[in-house]
Amino acid sequence: MHSSSKIKQNTFADDVMRGLSATPKFLSSKYFYDNEGSRLFQEIMKLPEYYLTRAEFEVFSRQTDEIFSAFNADNSPFDLIELGAGDGTKTSFLVSYFLKQNADFTYVPIDISAEALNTLTAKFEKEFPQLLMQTEKGDYFKTLETLSTKSSKRKIILFLGSNIGNFRQKQAQEFFRELRAVMNKDDLLFIGFDLQKDPQTILDAYSDKQGVTAAFNINLLKRINRELGANFDPKEFSHYAIYHPIEGAARSFLISQKKQTVFIKSLNKNFDFEAWEPIFMEISQKYSLKMIAELAKESGFQIEKNFFDSKNYYTDSLWKPV
């Protein structure tokens, strides 16, 4: 389970050791985003099957003024803190509008991926030379600890792109409780939830025809080869995704195509794979409105407003501490 203190001690090598020694084997999806992974994720966002980015973009582009009014009701200065900002494409739409309205804010994107932050910084510095920006590279579990002491200004925390879907439901509740503990009464939390819908639509988003999602998953094996001196043969693993409609969760796996042994030099250890043995890579939890309401309540928030796209595929939910 995620706790900021536990996460702090873990390195990439520790987590790979733990995941590949477990039964069933797993790897943490937070390591997807090296340079190539971040580039592949940008491609995923453009895929016809990956409706999530378009749905959230539609919310931001059609309801910009309503979002701005909800964020800026009292005109007081704020820090716009984004957890797992990625390349910030969608957020740039909000930032652009806020600047035009002369809002007094500093944008604080936090991401574990240097590549994502570099892309974001280059783009934002070029497009918005007047923007006050303070980027932070790191794990957002760690930054939780410093969030409350960062500045005395109001905090508006963005957690977009269905990042929350990568947590199991209990972890999500724990994460929001930790966030709540470092937030003040007039702070706000804005979260992108992918909603439950036709299971086939969801499954297609994690199993695209062009195989970009497959390449995105396989890339983590290549990262282990490069950074930890392993000898994974990426051709001997295939990507497989499922959606479980009762749990409302999509899951991605890499499947070993044969009985094989992989050596990881940094860990000085062999890992045996049976033929057809899966490595669990990622969960993408989909939410109902009832689940969102319960999650808010259980973690100490009330829902101010849910913003929807025109197909009701997705909601950006604005929460206020109770």
Ligand X SMILES: C[S@@+](CC[C@H](N)C(=O)[O-])C[C@H]1O[C@@H](n2cnc3c(N)ncnc32)[C@H](O)[C@@H]1O
Cβ proximity to ligand X, 93 vs 269, nearer residue: 93
Instruction: Select the residue interacting with ligand X from 25, 30, 54, 223 (CB under 6 A).
Output: 30
Closest approach, Cβ 268 to ligand X, in A, equals 27
* Rounded CA Rg of the chain: 20
Question: DSSP state, 197?
Answer: -
Using CB under 6 A as the criterion, what x/- string covers residues 89-128 for binding ligand X?
Answer: -x--------------------xxx--x------------
Using CB under 6 A as the criterion, what x/- string covers residues 1-20 for binding ligand X?
Answer: --------------------
Q: How far is CA 129 from CA 51, 99, 122, 180, in A?
A: 31, 11, 11, 33
Residues 261-300 that bind ligand X (CB under 6 A): none
Q: Under the criterion CB under 6 A, does residue 160 sit at the interface with ligand X?
A: yes
CA 261 from centre of chain? 31
- Which residues, at least 6 apart from 127, have a Cβ–Cβ distance to it below 8 Å? 92, 96
Listed ranges 82-90, 168-176, 247-255, 314-322: which one lies at the site for ligand X (CB under 6 A) = 82-90
Cβ proximity to ligand X, 219 vs 256, nearer residue: 219
CA dist 301 and 322 (Å) reads: 5
CA dist 173 and 177 (Å) reads: 6
CA dist 148 and 169 (Å) reads: 25
Q: Under the criterion CB under 6 A, does residue 140 sit at the interface with ligand X?
A: yes
Instruction: Select the residue interacting with ligand X from 72, 163, 256, 284 (CB under 6 A).
Output: 163
74: left (phi over 0), alpha (psi -120 to 50) or beta: alpha
Q: Under the criterion CB under 6 A, does residue 79 sit at the interface with ligand X?
A: no
Chain residues binding ligand X by CB under 6 A are 30, 33, 41, 84-86, 90, 111-113, 116, 139-141, 160-161, 163
